Amino acid sequence: MNTKLSISSPVSSGFKVDISRGQRIGRVSSEWFSRPDDERYLSLSELHHAVKSRADHARARNVESSAIRVEATRDNAERLELIVPGDRQPIAPTHWSYGQLCSLVGAPATYMRQLPAPLAAINLQHGLLHHRAELVKTLEMDDGRVELRAVTGPEYGRIWDHELVAAVMTIAGDGTGDTMWKVPGLLDWASMTHNPFVDISKDTTTLYASDRDVFLFLVDDTHPIEAGRLPNGEPDLFFRGFYAWNSEVGSKTLGIASFYLRAVCANRNIWGSENFEEITIRHSKFAAERFAHEAAPALTNFANSSPAAFVAGIQAARERIVARKDEDRQTFLRRRGFSKSETGKIIETVLSEEGRPPESIFDFVQGITALARDKSHQDTRLELEGKAKKLLEQAS
């Protein structure tokens, strides 16, 4: 396989892509749409400073749940405060930690928020006094105002947001182009060209953090990889990307997803994705050890790995012919669990996009992923994408 564009020879301008192939991933786009400006950062160092600063002002400890006192007054009906052992002044729970506290004692948070503060306080106090686990882990922050950021069970294994960002910085520097890993460029729909060289602004950044999580998305889009040819003879170009997320207050797991992709558009949809892999770590007792021994090394391995295996896998799938007649195509798909209707749509899609019916494993994979893109129900889409991935893996 001739890989004309390699890691050692970065491009100096945009390159044409074919996003009709592979999967569309909307995870980053969902983050992009929902983040206000104060949750958007222009570099990894800026992001790291923000999340490290709040960790430096935080204290985590286990306390007896029965020793926590809940206070509320009629003068301040919208707010509850907690007296935690060892603290002289009351601590105000955040919206998130209030919900966690309700969940720990078995009280529905939505209902509790509708109650007058004194009545909600009585219910919470009763729950804390009779909490079976006896201990809770608090995360308190004193940044001029003391607040309770999180309340979890005593076995909660916290991975700090700044630890994830720091791990990413070891391979990506500032994420602004000082290394090969950077905030992605943009797809020009008119020319179907992905331009890696776009200024990082609040509107284009993919580095985010709120008071309860961190999320970042970086790519190596200045080093596209040729993995075969398109029907018109042009190179089929990919580049590597990954996104990672965490919540030190328990709103989500830690996770890292890596993949190859063909483009990123202005609203940060990932187009033409292949070879999607994901690692998730729950914040259980040994979460920090798993992050150190599994997730962080996996990220480094992906960052430093050669694309040769990926290119070879695509090549093998392109070369492995599994059907030359219409009957063979029908049989190939039906034996793999596709309905008669799905089989027809897959074959029709490849015929429309490639100008010929599917013959190779790669042809069928592209048809299946195209069918998946049209499914609005997530479970159905993921099931189809899983079948396509399994088929591709069998070819290599």
Residue-wise pLDDT for 240-265, tens only, equals: 999 999 999 999 999 999 999 999 99
Predicted confidence band of residue 229 (pLDDT cuts 50, 70, 90): confident
Domain, as residue range, for 208: 15-53+158-307
Residue at 114 is within a domain: yes
* Cα distance between residue 363 and residue 373, in whole Å: 16
229/345 same-domain check: no
Residue at 38 is within a domain: yes
Residue at 151 is within a domain: no
* Cα distance between residue 175 and residue 316, in whole Å: 34
49/68 same-domain check: no
**Helix, strand, or coil (residue 279):** strand
Q: Which two tokens stand for residue 216?
A: 């970042």
Q: Give CA separation, 138 vs 58, 210, 288, in Å.
A: 10, 19, 17
The model's pTM is: 0.84
Q: Which two tokens stand for residue 53?
A: 């600063």
Span 119-130, mean pLDDT? 89
Interval 13-63: pLDDT, tens: 999 999 988 888 999 999 999 999 999 999 999 999 999 999 999 999 998
Among candidate residues 251, 277, 307, the one where a domain is terminated: 307
Q: At what angle do helices 308-319 and 361-373 cross, to 10 degrees?
A: 100
So what's the pLDDT on residue 388? 83
Residue at 10 is within a domain: no
So what's the pLDDT on residue 78? 57
226/267 same-domain check: yes
Among candidate residues 284, 307, 330, the one where a domain is terminated: 307
Span 156-184, mean pLDDT? 94
108/238 same-domain check: no
Residue at 313 is within a domain: no
41/186 same-domain check: yes
Arithmetic mean of pLDDT over the chain: 88
Residue at 5 is within a domain: no
Among candidate residues 243, 278, 307, the one where a domain is terminated: 307
89/224 same-domain check: no
255/162 same-domain check: yes
89/213 same-domain check: no
Residue at 353 is within a domain: yes
79/23 same-domain check: no
If one counts the domains in the chain, the total is 3
Residue at 221 is within a domain: yes
What are phi and psi for residue 255, nearest 5 degrees? -155, 155
69/118 same-domain check: yes
Query: In terms of DSSP bridges, do strands 146-152 and 135-142 run parallel, antiparallel, or are they unpaired?
Result: antiparallel
| Poorest-pLDDT segment among 74-88, 130-144, 221-235, 244-258 | 74-88
296/201 same-domain check: yes
Which long-range contacts link 169-175 to residues 24+ away (Cβ below 8 Å)?
169/44, 169/45, 169/48, 170/300, 171/299, 171/300, 171/303, 171/304, 172/44, 172/218, 172/303, 173/44, 174/43, 174/44, 174/45, 175/43, 175/44, 175/207, 175/216, 175/218
Q: Give CA separation, 256 vs 31, 205, 378, in Å.
A: 15, 18, 20
Please say if the pLDDT value at position 8 is more than 80. Answer: no
Please say if the pLDDT value at position 107 is more than 70. Answer: yes
186/205 same-domain check: yes
* Cα distance between residue 379 and residue 114, in whole Å: 34
**Helix, strand, or coil (residue 93):** strand
Please say if the pLDDT value at position 143 is more than 90. Answer: no
* Cα distance between residue 317 and residue 315, in whole Å: 5
So what's the pLDDT on residue 76? 57
